[in-house]
């Protein structure tokens, strides 16, 4: 890799070492390069490609061009196994589980794990739905009294599991996340900015985004998470170049850095990778502006990145201790079409890559779906962390907002995927082997409305709902 670095530096503008970024590692090879070069350097890039043809994985895609953000020129070289990548309505509400009267969890291996009922989380519809057994409507749950109004989860959910959360940014200074167990953050993306790193005792990203905060809350939040005891590793991707630059390449780099971390630090630990974003065409607009010399349309830029992500997902699928969870996308009533979710139906990926659809709070599908989307989760008007307001009376969901720092108002499969990730982490910590947990989850999932998609269910049956298993009230 050093020779390739030197070869690229010969083309780069000064300071040369700071204007070349390599995406890859010794296990995966060279996935992509990011290069800031002088205008008209296409011939030099082609000479470089020819010189290092044997060292690089073929074919090679080159992105030269005119960079429009006060840099002379910007280009990327994606080098990975590549081929064209064809892609492998709401319903009326009815009683929950109408077509699935049997509770498959009653024969589950998780019966040996202690369970806990959470009253506060039970006030949140999507949390209560995660532990709602098939065959029981909301009305039928009333016969269980207060036990039927709770969110039931496994004891110490997610303990011993590691969850990598790839997102554009994390604004984590909210009460809902104060008890999250963080591992060492990972910062991906070409030409990292100077602001990345610790500040006031905590790490943060260049983009302190509420999006990543909500995603983490759905995995490990005090009220909103299904795996509070999991170790969360935030993975940011951004560029030290102008905002929005090379976000697509940053996602590729994030997967590479997660792969590194799994191989070097967590090779004996169960790992989940949550990606609550897709790469639709607009992600490539900044790169298109930098590469007009070579590509006349942004649609010519996407296939090499699709190929890179396909290659990476195949490599992740070979690791025995990793599952990747990806949101399906927010195109109502359409097939899954954006990378990397569109890769979920590829041969060899289906048991290790889980693509998650989104429903309303009744269980109707409202977002993108496909034949390979085998599980969904609530994704409309879901609860999210907010800053608490004091000194006002509390009642209902507004009461939750005021007292606990939780309110509503977010929608999208971005927030369905981490609910499934959290449930998987809880199942793993309850004793389900990682090579069986995805099929186990698929078998437990069931429609909440007639004709609806299968919605995730954590498998805790009603015969385990006991008064003595109710958790103490949370302190805020």
Burial of 137 by CB count in 10 Å (0-12 exposed, 13-18 middle, 19+ buried)? middle
Beta-carbon contacts of 369 under 8 Å, excluding residues fewer than 6 positions away, are 328, 335, 336, 357, 376, 453
pTM reported for the whole predicted model:
0.84
Backbone phi, then psi, for 309, in 5-degree steps? -70, -35
Q: For position 332, what pLDDT does the model report?
A: 87
Q: For position 280, what pLDDT does the model report?
A: 75
Q: Structural domains in the chain?
A: 2-79 (no CATH), 104-469 (3.40.50.200)
Are 363 and 128 contacting, i.e. CB atoms less than 8 angstroms apart?
A: no
DSSP annotation of 365 reads B
Q: For position 170, what pLDDT does the model report?
A: 85
Q: For position 39, what pLDDT does the model report?
A: 63
- Considering all CA atoms of the chain, what is the largest pairwise distance in Å, rounded to the nearest integer? 75
pLDDT digits (tens), the chain, 476 positions: 678 788 888 888 888 887 788 888 888 877 777 777 766 666 777 777 777 766 665 333 333 322 322 233 334 433 333 322 222 223 233 334 444 445 454 545 556 789 999 999 999 999 999 999 999 887 888 899 999 999 999 999 999 999 999 998 887 678 899 899 999 999 887 765 544 443 333 344 444 578 899 999 999 999 999 999 999 999 988 766 654 445 677 888 899 999 999 999 999 999 999 999 988 766 666 555 555 444 445 555 677 778 889 999 999 999 999 999 999 999 888 899 888 999 999 988 988 999 999 999 999 999 999 999 999 999 999 999 986 655 455 555 556 666 778 888 789 999 999 999 999 999 999 999 999 999 999 999 999 999 999 999 999 999 999 999 999 877 76
Relative orientation angle of helices 210-220 and 417-429, to the nearest 10 degrees: 30
Centre a 10 Å sphere on the Cβ of residue 50 and count the other Cβ atoms it contains. 9
Q: For position 56, what pLDDT does the model report?
A: 60
């Amino acid at each position: 890799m050093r020779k390739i670095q030197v070869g690229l530096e010969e083309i780069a503008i000064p300071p040369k070492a700071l204007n070349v970024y390599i995406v890859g590692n010794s296990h995966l090879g060279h996935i992509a390069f990011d290069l800031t070069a002088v205008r008209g350097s296409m011939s030099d890039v082609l000479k470089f490609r020819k010189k290092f043809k044997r060292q690089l994985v073929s074919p090679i895609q080159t992105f030269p061009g005119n960079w429009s953000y006060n840099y002379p020129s910007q280009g990327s070289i994606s080098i990975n196994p590549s081929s064209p990548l064809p892609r492998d309505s709401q319903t009326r509400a009815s009683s929950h589980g109408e077509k699935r009267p049997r509770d498959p969890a009653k024969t589950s291996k998780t019966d040996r794990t202690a369970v806990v009922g959470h009253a506060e989380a039970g006030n949140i519809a999507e949390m209560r739905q995660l532990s709602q057994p098939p065959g029981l409507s909301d009305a039928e749950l009333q016969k269980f009294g207060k036990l039927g109004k709770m969110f039931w989860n496994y004891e110490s959910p997610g303990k011993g599991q590691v969850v990598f959360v790839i997102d554009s940014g994390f604004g984590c200074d909210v009460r809902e996340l104060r008890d999250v167990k963080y591992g060492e953050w990972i910062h991906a993306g070409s030409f990292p900015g100077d602001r990345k790193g610790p500040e006031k005792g905590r790490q943060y990203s260049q983009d302190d985004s509420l999006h990543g905060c909500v995603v983490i809350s759905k995995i490990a939040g005090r009220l909103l998470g299904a795996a509070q005891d999991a170790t969360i590793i935030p993975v940011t991707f951004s560029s030290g170049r102008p905002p929005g630059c090379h976000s697509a390449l940053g996602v590729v780099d994030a997967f590479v850095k997660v792969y590194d971390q799994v191989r070097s630090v967590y090779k004996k630990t169960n790992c989940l990778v949550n990606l609550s974003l897709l790469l639709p065409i607009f992600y490539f607009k900044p790169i298109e502006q930098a590469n007009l010399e070579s590509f006349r349309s942004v649609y010519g830029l996407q296939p090499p990145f699709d190929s890179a992500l396909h290659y990476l997902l195949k490599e992740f699928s070979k690791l025995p201790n990793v599952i990747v969870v990806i949101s399906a996308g927010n195109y109502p009533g359409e097939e899954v079409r954006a990378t990397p979710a569109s890769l979920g139906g590829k041969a060899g990926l289906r048991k290790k890559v889980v693509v998650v659809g989104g429903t309303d709070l009744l269980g109707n599908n409202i977002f993108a779906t496909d034949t390979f989307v085998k599980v969904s989760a609530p994704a409309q008007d879901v609860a999210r962390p907010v800053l608490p307001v004091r000194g006002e009376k509390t009642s209902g969901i507004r009461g939750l907002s005021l007292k606990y720092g939780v309110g509503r108002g977010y929608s999208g499969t971005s927030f369905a995927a981490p609910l499934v990730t959290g449930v998987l982490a809880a199942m793993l910590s309850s004793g389900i082997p990682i090579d069986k947990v995805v099929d186990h989850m698929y078998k437990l999932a069931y429609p909440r409305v007639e004709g609806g998609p299968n919605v995730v269910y954590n498998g805790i049956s009603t015969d385990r709902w006991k008064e003595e298993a109710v958790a103490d009230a949370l302190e805020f």
